[in-house]
C-alpha cells in the first residue's frame, strides 16, 4: 500500500462562543486557554490539517484533491468532505435555531446542501435538557408573532437528557442544546444556521446577536414533535461490539468497543472518521499499512482505499465513535442481520430515519 494511504490524525479547530466553557481544554484535551469560553472543537472538517505521516500539514481538502477516490471512494472528491464532526461544550444554552434542507440550500443560498445533524451526549448535568421540536402543532404566523413578542420559549418542546443518549435532528427541526451538556455532533458539512431566539442575550460587542427569522420561517417543520432518544442496534462482529446509533442517508454513526485483540473493521470502500473516547486506540491501515496511535478524544480519518482497518485496544474499555459519510445503509443493515439481529429488529432501527 502507498505510504500516502494511512490513518490521518487531524488537528481540530476550536471556536469560542458566549455559551462555551472550559471542558474542551480541561476534559477533552484540546488546545486553548481554559479561561476563554470555548464552545466547539471541529474534529473532522475539510480544512483540518493532518498531524502525522508524509502528508503532515495538508488539509483534508488537499487530500481530496491529491488522492481523489483513494480517499473518498464513491463520494465526489471535488466537493468538501461531506460530514463535519464536533465536540460541543454547552456551558450555557445555545440559541433556538433551525437548518434548511438540501433543496432550500441550493435554491436560496446557492450552497450544495443543507444540514441534518445528530447528537450523542457525552456528559451532562442532572437536570440538563434539549429543545427538540414543538410541544404542539404551531404555524408560521404564530411562530412569527412569538418571536416578535419574546414568548417563543413557551411552545418549544424540552427533552431531558442523560449521558449516552442519541438524538436525530432532520433539517427543519427547531432545536437548541441546553446548558450543562457536552456532546458529539455529526452533521452535513454546512454553515447554514437560522437563529430564531437567543434567550435575550447579547454578544461580545454588547448587542443582541443577529436573528434570521424570515429564512427560519421558510424552512421550519411546524408539526408537534414526539421523537426523543433513539433506539440503537447493537451486535458483535470480528472482535468489536458495535452499536449503531444513527443511520441516515447522509451519515451513519456508531459506538464501537474493542473487545478482542484481533478486531477488524470493514470500511465498505468509504472513508471513516474515528474519534476515540476514554482510552487511546491504535488504528492499522490494513495488514501491511501504517499504524496511527490515537490519544483519547482525538480523531483520525481512514482512506476509502483501506478496505479493512485493525483496531488495537489501548485501555479498558477502548471505545470510539465511528462516522460513515454517505453510507451504504443496506450493507449496514445486512451486517447487523448477519451478526444475529433479526430483520424485524433491524427494520425497527432504520425506520427511525425514514
84-98: pLDDT as tens digits: 999 999 999 999 999
The whole-number pLDDT of residue 209 equals 85
Q: Quick one: residue 145, left, alpha or beta (phi over 0 = left, psi -120 to 50 = alpha)?
A: alpha
pTM (two decimals): 0.96
- State the pLDDT at residue 314: 83
Average pLDDT for 131-144? 98
Question: Given a cut of 70, is residue 58 above it in pLDDT?
Answer: yes
Region 195-206 average pLDDT: 83
Note the pLDDT tens digit of each residue in 242-269.
999 999 999 999 999 999 888 999 999 9
Mean pLDDT estimate for the chain: 95
Residue 198: band (very low, low, confident or very high) from pLDDT cuts 50, 70, 90: very high
Active site residues: 195
> Which strands, in side-by-side order, build the sheet including 181-188?
13-21, 38-44, 83-90, 181-188, 117-124, 166-169
First to last CA, the chain: 39
Residue 1: pLDDT band (50, 70, 90) is: low
Percent of the chain with pLDDT over 90: 89
Asked if pLDDT for residue 3 goes beyond 80, the answer is yes
User: What is the percent of the chain with per-residue pLDDT over 70, rounded to a whole number?
Assistant: 99
> Hey, what domains does the chain have and what are their CATH numbers?
8-219 (2.60.120.10), 233-353 (2.60.120.10)
- Residue 133, helix vs strand vs coil: strand
Cα separation, 140 vs 128, whole angstroms: 29
pLDDT of the residue at 100? 98
pLDDT surpassing 80 at residue 308: yes
Give the Cα separation of 301 and 323 in Å (integer): 9
Q: Are 120 and 183 in contact (CB under 8 A)?
A: yes
Of the given ranges (38-42, 267-271, 312-316), which has the lowest mean pLDDT?
A: 312-316
pLDDT tens-place string over residues 166-183: 999 999 999 999 999 999
Give the model's pLDDT for residue 34: 87
The Cα 140–Cα 162 span in angstroms is 32
Tell me the per-residue pLDDT of 112-132, one tens digit each, with 9 for 90 and over. Answer: 999 999 999 999 999 999 999
pLDDT, tens digit (0-9, with 9 covering 90-100), for 60-80: 999 999 999 999 999 999 999
- 38 with 15: CB under 8 angstroms? yes
**Mean pLDDT across the stretch 272-281?**
94
Amino acid at each position: 500500500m502507498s505510504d500516502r494511504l494511512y490513518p490521518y490524525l487531524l488537528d481540530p479547530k476550536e471556536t469560542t462562543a458566549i455559551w462555551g466553557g472550559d471542558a474542551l481544554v480541561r476534559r477533552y484535551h484540546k488546545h486553548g486557554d481554559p479561561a476563554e469560553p470555548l464552545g466547539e472543537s471541529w474534529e473532522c472538517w475539510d480544512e483540518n490539517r493532518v498531524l502525522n505521516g508524509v502528508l503532515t500539514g495538508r488539509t483534508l481538502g488537499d487530500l481530496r484533491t491529491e488522492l481523489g477516490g483513494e480517499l473518498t471512494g464513491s463520494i465526489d472528491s471535488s466537493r468538501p468532505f461531506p460530514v463535519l464532526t464536533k465536540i460541543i461544550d454547552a456551558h450555557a444554552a445555545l440559541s433556538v435555531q433551525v437548518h434548511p434542507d438540501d433543496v432550500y440550500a441550493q435554491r436560496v443560498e446557492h450552497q450544495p446542501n443543507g444540514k441534518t445533524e445528530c447528537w450523542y451526549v457525552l456528559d451532562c448535568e442532572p437536570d440538563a435538557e434539549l429543545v427538540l421540536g414543538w410541544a404542539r402543532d404551531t404555524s408560521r404566523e404564530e411562530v412569527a408573532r412569538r418571536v416578535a413578542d419574546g414568548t417563543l420559549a413557551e411552545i418549544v418542546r424540552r427533552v431531558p437528557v442523560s449521558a449516552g443518549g442519541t438524538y436525530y435532528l432532520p433539517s427543519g427541526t427547531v432545536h437548541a442544546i441546553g446548558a450543562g451538556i457536552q456532546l458529539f455532533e455529526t452533521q452535513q458539512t454546512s454553515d447554514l444556521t437560522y437563529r430564531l431566539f437567543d434567550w435575550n442575550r447579547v454578544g461580545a460587542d454588547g448587542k443582541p446577536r443577529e436573528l434570521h427569522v424570515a429564512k427560519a420561517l421558510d424552512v421550519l417543520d411546524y408539526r408537534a414533535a414526539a421523537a426523543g432518544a433513539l433506539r440503537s442496534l447493537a451486535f458483535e462482529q470480528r472482535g468489536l461490539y458495535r452499536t449503531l446509533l444513527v443511520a441516515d442517508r447522509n451519515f451513519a454513526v456508531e459506538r464501537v468497543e474493542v473487545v478482542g485483540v484481533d478486531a477488524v473493521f470493514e470500511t465498505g470502500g468509504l472513508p471513516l472518521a474515528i474519534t476515540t473516547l476514554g482510552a487511546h486506540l491504535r488504528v492499522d491501515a490494513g495488514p501491511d499499512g501504517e499504524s496511527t496511535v490515537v490519544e483519547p478524544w482525538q480523531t483520525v480519518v481512514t482512506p476509502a482505499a483501506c478496505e479493512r482497518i485493525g483496531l488495537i485496544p489501548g485501555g479498558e474499555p477502548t471505545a470510539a465513535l465511528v462516522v460513515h459519510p454517505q453510507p451504504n445503509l443496506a450493507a449496514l443493515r445486512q451486517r447487523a442481520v448477519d451478526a444475529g439481529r433479526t430483520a424485524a429488529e433491524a427494520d425497527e432501527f432504520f425506520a427511525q430515519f425514514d
